[in-house]
Amino acid sequence: MSSIDAALLAAHAAGDGTAMMRLYAKAAEAAKTSDAAAFYLTHAYVFALEAGHADAPALHQRLIDAGREHPAAPPRPPKR
C-alpha cells in the first residue's frame, strides 16, 4: 500500500473531506494511466464540491481538459 493510499484511508476514516480532496488530486497526478488519473480527479472534484472548496472550479477544468467532463451549459432564462 502506498503512502497516498494509507493517507486516503485515514482521511476517509476521519471524514475529512478537504484532506480527501487534496489526496485524491495528488493521487491523480501520480497515476500511471489516464483512466486512473480521471478516477482520482473525479473523486477530488466531488469532495471539493461537497466541502465548498475554492479548488472545485480548477478541478472541474482539469477534468474538462482531460476530456472527462463537459463545460457547464449557460443558464436558461426563466419561462414566463
The full set of domain ranges for the chain reads 3-65
Q: Which residues of 46-69 are buried (b: 16+ CB within 10 A; e: fewer)?
A: bbbeebebebbeebbebbeeeebb
Contacts of 22 (CB under 8 A, 6+ apart): 44
Report the C-alpha gap between 54 and 32 in whole angstroms.
27
User: How confident is the model over 11-21, as pLDDT tens digits?
Assistant: 999 999 999 99
User: How confident is the model over 6-64, as pLDDT tens digits?
Assistant: 999 999 999 999 999 999 999 999 999 999 999 999 999 999 999 999 999 999 999 99
Identify the pLDDT of residue 65: 95
Confidence of residue 1 (pLDDT cuts 50, 70, 90): low
Checking if the pLDDT of 69 tops 80, the result is: yes
pTM of the complete model: 0.85
Residue 75 Rama label (left phi>0; alpha psi -120 to 50; beta): beta
